[in-house]
Amino acid sequence: MATVSPTPLLKDELDIVIPTIRNLDFLEMWRPFFQPYHLIIVQDGDPTKTIKVPEGFDYELYNRNDINRILGPKASCISFKDSACRCFGYMVSKKKYIYTIDDDCFVAKDPSGKDINALEQHIQNLLSPSTPFFFNTLYDPYRSGADFVRGYPFSLREGVTTAVSHGLWLNIPDYDAPTQLVKPLERNTRYVDAIMTIPKGTLFPMCGMNLAFNRELIGPAMYFGLMGDGQPIGRYDDMWAGWCTKVICDHLGWGVKTGLPYIWHSKASNPFVNLKKEYKGIYWQEELIPFFQSVALPKDCTTVQKCYIEISKQVKAKLGKVDDYFNKLADAMVTWIEAWDELNPSGDISAKIPNGASK
Amino acid sequence: MSLSIKDHEIDIVIGALRSDLTSFMSEWRPIFSRFHLIIVKDPDLKEELKIPEGFNLDVYKKPDIDCVVGTSTSTIFSGYSCRYFGYLVSRKKYIISVDDDCYPAKDNKGILVDAVAQHITNLTTPATPFFFNTLYDPFTEGADFVRGYPFSLRSGVQCALSCGLWLNLADYDAPTQALKPEERNSRYVDAVLTVPARSLMPISGINIAFNREVIGPALLPSLRLGGEGKFRWETMEDIWSGMCVKVACDHLGLGVKTGMPYVWRNDRGDAIASLRKEWEGVKLMEEVVPFFQSVRLPREATTTEDCVAEVANVVKEQLGSKDPIFARAAKAMVDWVMLWKSVGSSTSSPGA
C-alpha cells in the first residue's frame, strides 16, 4: 500500500544512461534531480568528437572505440550510428536500476505548474507492485488516494514485482513517420494523471525516451537490437526490446507499468529521415506482432537469459524467412547475452513461474 | 471519426432504489432532458416515486414488471437488478445507465461533464483491444497511435461497452472503504482506454453505457448474494455480469472501454455496517476471477445469446458444485436468454 513516506533517492543503486551524439546541455535543466546520480553516457557516432558534460556530474563515458575495446568481437551486437547503442550502458552498469532518457527530453510541468521530478516518479513506480493479472479500473491502486475497486480479488492485491516503468511525453509525441507527416503540428498537451500496469498477455510499443527498469531483474532482455549504420532499419530498437521484455515479464510473473511521469520532448526529428529508417519496420511489424503474441516460453526457461535465448531461436525459425535481417538479429541476440553474462558474471536471477512473484 | 447519433437512438435507464428522485433528476436535467428515460422502481421499494416534471420518460413499477414477465420472474429484478428490466424493455440502440445516487461531475477545469455525450463518443469510436496504445484513446482529439503500433490494427473494432468512473465515493468494496473511511476519489484522469482483449476487470454497474443491439443480452441479473442489500457494498451482481460481458466481447471481437466519463457519487451508507452484514461477495471473487479467466467459448458461439448460454453451461459444470449460488446464477442466465428472446426482441428499425 502506498504510504506518505518520501521516495528513497536510491542514488547508489541507480544509473542514468544517456545516448548522445550532440551535446548534453539538457542536463543543466535536470541538474536538481539528476545530480546525485551516476551517469553512463554512451556516445554514438564519431568517436573523435568530444562530448562536453556539464560540471558537477559524476559520469563515465563510452564511445565506439571503448565499446570495441571492451567487447572485442562481440561489439558487433551493439548498433552504430543509432541511439540503440545505449543498451551498452545497461550492460556495463553495476547498479540495480537504470533510468534512460534522450538528450532532447526536458523537465515537464504538471497541471499545477510544478516541475516534474520524473526520476522520482519512476522510482516510485519501480518500488511499488504491479497488477498484471486483473485490471484495476482506478489504475494504480498503490498510489495515495486510490485503491483496488470492488470486485478485485484480495488474493491478487499484493501484486508482483515491477520490472519496467514506461513514462510518457508532453509536447512532441512519439509518433511514427507517416503520422508525423500527416499531423506535423500535433502536440501532446494532455496530462493523464495515471499509472497503470499493462495486463499480462498484452503487448505495447515501448518507447526508450523516458524509461526505467530493474536492471537486476530484466536487464538482459533490454537489448536494443541492430539498428542504424549498415542495417536496413532504424527507430525500432526500443520496440524490439519492449516486445521481448514484455513476453519475458509475462512469463516470469513481473509487471510493466506505463503512464506517469511525463517529460517534455522538445525536438521533432525529420519525418522524411524517419520514414526511410522506419519503412521496413512498418510492414515487418505486421509479422512481428503476431510472432510475439504467439511466443510460448517453455517452463524450464526460468531465467531472463534462458528466455531470451529461446526467443532468439524462435526469431530465427519463424522470422528468418521474413528477411535475412532477422537471422542476423537472432545471432546478435545470442551475442548480447554472451556479452552480458561476461560483464555480469554473478547476475543470474531465477524466478518462480508462473504465479509466484519473485523477490 | 464518430458516427452521428440521433438522440432517439438512446435510452437512459435509471434503477430507482430511493423514492425521491427530485434532486437527482434536477441535477441531471441539463444533460438528460433531450433523451427518453426509463425509470425502473426497485420492486421492494414501498414509497411512491417522486419525479420532477418535464422529462420524456416511462416509469416501470412492480405491477408493470409483473405484467411483462410474470410475478414469479419479477423477483430477479429486485434491488440494483431492477435496471436490467429497463435494458430488457428498451428498444433503443444505446443505453446509458447511472445509479440514482450519482450526479454530474466537474472536470479539472471546473466544467460540468456531459456523461451521456462522453459515453456515446466512447461507443461510437473504435476500440483497440489487440495492442495497447500508450497514449490511450487514439481516436480522441490531440492524440493518435504511437510509433510501433501496427497499421493493420489501427481501424480498431466496434466498442460495445463503455465503463465510466466515479469521483468522491469510489466503487470500493466494504472492507476497503471501512479501512479508509475518509478516503474520497479526487483524481480526475483525463483518459479513455480500451481494456485489452483477454484482460478481465471489475465492471461496475454504477456508470455504464452499452450498445444494446450488439451486447444487450450479456448484461444480466444472475448472481445474487445471500445477503444482497440496497448498497453497492452489498452486491456483486454487476461484477458478475461484467465478467460475462467481457468474455463475450473478447470472443466476438468487440471492444470495452474504461475511463471517462466521471460521475460524482454521493456519500451513502456505512461501509462497516455493510461489512458486518455481507462479506460473501468478497470471498466469491476468489473463485469467480480464475474461473472467468479460464473460460474459452467455442467457435460455434457467434451471437451474444450463444455466448451467455455457453458461459452458463460452464458455470453450471465447473462452479455449480462449489456453491449453490453459482448453480442458481447459471440457471438465471439460461432463463435470461429465453426472456430476452421473448421480451427483449430487437430495437426498432432505423428511421422509425
A277-323 per-position pLDDT tens digit: 999 999 899 999 999 999 999 999 999 999 999 999 999 999 999 99
Query: With an 8 Å Cβ cutoff, are B171 and A149 in contact?
Result: yes
Per-residue cell: A320: 528468418
B136 Cβ under 8 Å from any chain A Cβ: yes
Per-residue cell: A13: 543503486
Query: With an 8 Å Cβ cutoff, are B153 and A289 in contact?
Result: yes
B240-283 per-position pLDDT tens digit: 999 999 999 999 999 999 999 999 999 888 888 888 777 888 88
Residue A7's region, left for phi above 0, alpha for psi from -120 to 50, else beta, is beta
- Position B3 scores a pLDDT of 53
pLDDT band at A102 (very low <50, low <70, confident <90, very high): very high
A135 Cβ under 8 Å from any chain B Cβ: yes
| ipTM of the complex in this document | 0.94
Do residues A88 and A6 make contact, with C-beta atoms less than 8 angstroms apart? Answer: no
Q: Which residues pair with A58 in a beta bridge?
A: A38
Per-residue cell: A185: 503540428
- Position A350 scores a pLDDT of 52
Q: Where do the DSSP E strands lie in B42-172?
A: 56-60, 94-98, 102-104, 159-168
Query: With an 8 Å Cβ cutoff, are B151 and A136 in contact?
Result: no
> What is the pLDDT averaged over residues A16-24?
92
Alpha carbons B98 and B84: distance in angstroms, whole number: 12
CA B247 vs. chain centroid, Å, equals 14
Which residues have CB under 8 Å from A89's CB, separation 6+? Answer: A15, A17, A18, A19, A40, A41, A42, A62, A98, A100
Which residues have CB under 8 Å from A294's CB, separation 6+? Answer: none
Q: How far is A258 from chain B (nearest CA, A)?
A: 7
The answer to whether residue A192 scores a pLDDT higher than 90 is yes
Do residues A61 and A43 make contact, with C-beta atoms less than 8 angstroms apart? Answer: yes
Do residues B249 and B256 make contact, with C-beta atoms less than 8 angstroms apart? Answer: yes
Helix B304-314 to helix B324-339 angle (10° resolution) is: 160
- Position A357 scores a pLDDT of 36
Query: With an 8 Å Cβ cutoff, are A202 and B132 in contact?
Result: yes
B113-169 per-position pLDDT tens digit: 999 999 999 999 999 999 999 999 999 999 999 999 999 999 999 999 999 999 999
Residues of chain B with pLDDT > 70: what percent? 96
By Cβ distance, the residue of B146, B187, B202 closest to A149 is: B202
- Position A111 scores a pLDDT of 96
> What is the pLDDT averaged over residues B229-246?
94
pLDDT band at A148 (very low <50, low <70, confident <90, very high): very high
Q: Where do the DSSP E strands lie in chain A?
A: 14-20, 38-43, 58-62, 97-101, 105-106, 162-171, 195-197, 210-214, 255-265
Instruction: Measure Cα distances from A18 to A12, A58, A86, A274, B107 in Å.
Output: 17, 13, 7, 21, 38
Number of cross-chain residue pairs from A and B with Cβ atoms under 8 Å apart:
174
Q: Which residues pair with B265 in a beta bridge?
A: B102, B168
CA nearest B42: which of B76, B71, B69?
Answer: B76
By Cβ distance, the residue of A138, A155, A282 closest to B151 is: A282
A50 Cβ under 8 Å from any chain B Cβ: no
Alpha carbons B241 and A210: distance in angstroms, whole number: 39
A194 Cβ under 8 Å from any chain B Cβ: yes
The answer to whether residue A5 scores a pLDDT higher than 80 is no
Sign of CA dihedral B333, B334, B337, B340: negative
Classified by CATH at the fold level, domain A14-343 comes out as: Spore Coat Polysaccharide Biosynthesis Protein SpsA; Chain A (3.90.550)
pLDDT band at A354 (very low <50, low <70, confident <90, very high): very low
Residues of A in contact with B200 (CB under 8 A): 134-135
Residue type present at position A145: G
Find the closest chain B residue to A170 by CA distance: B135
CA A3 vs. chain centroid, Å, equals 27
Best of B107, B136, B147 to mutate (most A CBs within 10 Å, chain A): B147
Query: With an 8 Å Cβ cutoff, are B183 and A235 in contact?
Result: no
The torsion angles phi and psi of A312, rounded to 5 degrees, stand at -60, -35
The answer to whether residue A358 scores a pLDDT higher than 70 is no
> What is the pLDDT averaged over residues B44-48?
95
Residues of A in contact with B191 (CB under 8 A): 190, 192, 194
B289-335 per-position pLDDT tens digit: 999 999 999 999 999 999 999 999 999 999 999 999 999 999 999 99
Do residues B59 and B36 make contact, with C-beta atoms less than 8 angstroms apart? Answer: no
A72 Cβ under 8 Å from any chain B Cβ: no
By Cβ distance, the residue of A191, A201, A239 closest to B190 is: A191
- Block residue for cell numbers 527507430: A235
The answer to whether residue B348 scores a pLDDT higher than 60 is no
B189 Cβ under 8 Å from any chain A Cβ: yes
The answer to whether residue B65 scores a pLDDT higher than 80 is yes
The interface residues of chain B toward chain A in range 222-261, judged by CB-CB distance below 8 A, are 232-233, 236, 239, 242, 258
B168 Cβ under 8 Å from any chain A Cβ: no
Which residues have CB under 8 Å from B167's CB, separation 6+? Answer: B105, B184, B185, B186, B188, B262, B263, B264, B265
- Position B2 scores a pLDDT of 44
pTM of the model: 0.94
Q: Which residues pair with B165 in a beta bridge?
A: B262
> What is the pLDDT averaged over residues A89-102?
97
Q: How far is B46 from chain A (nearest CA, A)?
A: 28
Per-domain boundaries in chain B: 101-342
pLDDT band at A352 (very low <50, low <70, confident <90, very high): very low
A152-165 per-position pLDDT tens digit: 999 999 999 999 99
Alpha carbons A305 and A312: distance in angstroms, whole number: 10
- Position A99 scores a pLDDT of 98
Per-domain boundaries in chain A: 14-343
